[in-house]
Amino acid sequence: MQQTGQKRTQEAKQIQACGSGDVDRISDLPDDLLHLILSYVSDDASEVTRTSVLSRRWRRVWIHAQKLCFDDDRQSRWRRLANFGGFVDWAFAQRGDADIQSVIIFMSRLDSATPEQVNEWLRYAVQRVVKTFWLNACDSTPIGACWAPPPRDHGHQLPTVELPSHGRTASINLNLSSYPFRLKLPASPAARYEALTDLSLSLAWFGEDEAVAGRRTLTDFISSCCPRLRKLEIIDPMRLPQLVLRAEALEELIVASTRDTQTMDVTAPNLRIFELHYFNSMTSVTSYGESIDLVVRITAPRLEEIGINNSTLEIEDNLDLRIHGLASVRRLKNLTLAMHGHNCCNTDYGLWLLNNCPNVEHIDLRLRYEMLATHEIDDLTDNGAPRLYKARDRSSKDQDTRTDNRNISLEFLEEVRLTSFTGTDEEMDLVRMLFGSSSSIKSMTISTPEKEIADTCSGDFLLDSDDDYPYYHRLLKIAPLSHLGRWHYKRFEYTWTRYATEDA
């Protein structure tokens, strides 16, 4: 009994010692190990900073966290600190001059911080964040609210986000809201972003449709200040009538929702990937209701992949595409062809690319059925039609596409994927044409619309039944002889594979 009492007394003293501020076992670990433990806690800045209450030793350990995420939509510590902007200010002030690998700031409401605070964060980030800085200042639109055109910039009333003259960050992502910030690029001739390799700018208001003395354009900033930039992403730019790039190191360029951009002129000797999406999804910002033609000139002798997607639109494409040196291109993505039977609209950029990329190996193609005028059609079964001799992979999304079984040469075609397949006679003709045009096909996968639904939701309400594979026997009659391969069916998807013993 006496020993038990002594033991309890010792435990009580230990607890009292801990409570009086003595170092506990975890706190006695070396700094490097504490920092490692902290890295597994969370990237939520409010959770990371709460570790300061664990003990006296932990009060400033969080300052060395290498990834912080600030999000004004989380129920977090800053609600007790009066406001989100104040919490971010406090956290950066506590860190002082210490470098950090990654900082992410999500603002779902524009009143979460003032423009002055946002600019202070940007100045801090480009000097202290080594790898990734991401600012998402995208205001949430209330449910049921109607979309309104972006405000005109009379009197420079838009809030301004100003990029500092020098930065050390390798990757910068600025999403500047559906109610836009004006993006001001550094005007100093000495401005440099030597370490910047990835830059993404979304919903930025450039204001380059008006000449302003001393203003640096996006073209000049990329060409003069970012010598190591490898990836550039420009999403939904406003008041950017032209984009002229001369970028030696650039390897990947992605542009989407060009609004009022009229010209893209790119010279990039190391560019390998070029993507253009929804290039007339918005009408002109300067003249509402008008569609603007887009001229794209690309000089990139090492270009390997082109992705052009305007497929959600039912209006006429307005793209004038001029890409020089297409012999290096191996992959075409998201192309659209307007079809009527075996005839194709000869003004489509998709047909132009198929005609001018002789060494393409992978094709992702959307076929769209349309009524075509006789002066704007090409017969794909004609001798002058594209000959895709080196194509090995073809993915196609069919929308009421009608074709017939004539001889189109796809000599090296090896893989085919067809989606949204509904089993119409025209679609069966397309399958027959593909098998008839290539003796090299190794696999063909055909999925029904139900497959897409099942992939995007639980799909539990899509029950298998005896009618789930009504096209199976029809496909059996189309494929090559049974000794070459066989069809398999699995939940809204048909796959034909060539036997392994058969030489491709």
Range of the domain at 502: 336-504
pLDDT one-digit tens code per residue, 377-435: 555 555 555 555 566 665 655 554 444 434 456 677 788 888 778 888 777 887 888 88
What pLDDT score was predicted for residue 29?
77
Sign for the pseudo-dihedral over CA of 35, 36, 41, 43: positive
H-run or E-run covering 399: strand 393-399
Q: Is the dihedral of CA 90, 91, 97, 103 positive or negative?
A: negative
Partner residues linked to 217 by β-bridges: none
Distances (CA, A) of 275 to 118, 199, 205: 30, 15, 21
Residues in the chain, overall count? 504
Position 262 in a domain: no
Answer whether residue 177 is part of any domain: no
Distance CA 164, CA 6 (A): 65
- Could you tell me if residue 344 is inside a domain? yes
- Burial, 461: exposed, middle or buried (Cβ in 10 Å; 0-12, 13-18, 19+)? exposed
Cβ–Cβ under 8 Å, residues 109 and 72: yes
Count Cβ atoms below 10 Å from residue 396 Cβ, excluding itself.
21
Whether the Cβ atoms of residue 168 and residue 130 lie closer than 8 Å to each other = yes
399 within a domain of the structure (yes/no): yes
- Outline where DSSP puts E strands in 168-230: 171-175, 181-184, 198-202, 204-205
Do the domain assignments include residue 301? no
Residue 440 lies in a domain: yes
Query: What separation, in Å, do the N-terminal and C-terminal C-alpha atoms of the chain show?
Result: 85
- CB 409 within 8 Å of CB 387: yes
Tally of domains in the chain: 1
Residue 276: count of CB within 10 angstroms of its CB: 23
Dist. CA 54–CA 303, nearest whole Å: 55
Phi and psi at 235, nearest 5°, equal -115, 125
Q: How far apart are CA 95 and CA 129, in angstroms?
A: 12
192 within domain boundaries: no
Residue-averaged pLDDT of the chain: 75
Q: What is the pLDDT of residue 366?
A: 72
pLDDT at residue 386, rounded to an integer: 59
In a domain, 328, yes or no: no
Beta bridge partners of 123: none
Query: Which pLDDT belongs to residue 171?
Result: 97
Distance CA 45, CA 78 (A): 10
pTM: 0.75
Query: For the packed helices 84-95 and 115-128, what is the interaxial angle rounded to 10 degrees?
Result: 30
pLDDT at position 401? 44
- Please tell me what DSSP assigns to residue 405: -
| Mean per-residue pLDDT pooled into runs of 10, the chain (504 residues) | 50 46 66 77 77 76 86 60 82 91 88 89 95 83 39 59 94 81 90 97 87 84 95 92 94 89 93 86 41 81 90 55 90 75 60 83 72 51 55 57 48 79 80 81 84 51 48 76 80 86 50
Residue 6 has a CB neighbour count (10 Å cut-off) of 10
Dihedral, 319, 138, 136, 215 alpha carbons, nearest 10: 60
Instruction: Report CA-CA distances (Å) from 78 to 70, 82, 83.
Output: 10, 6, 6
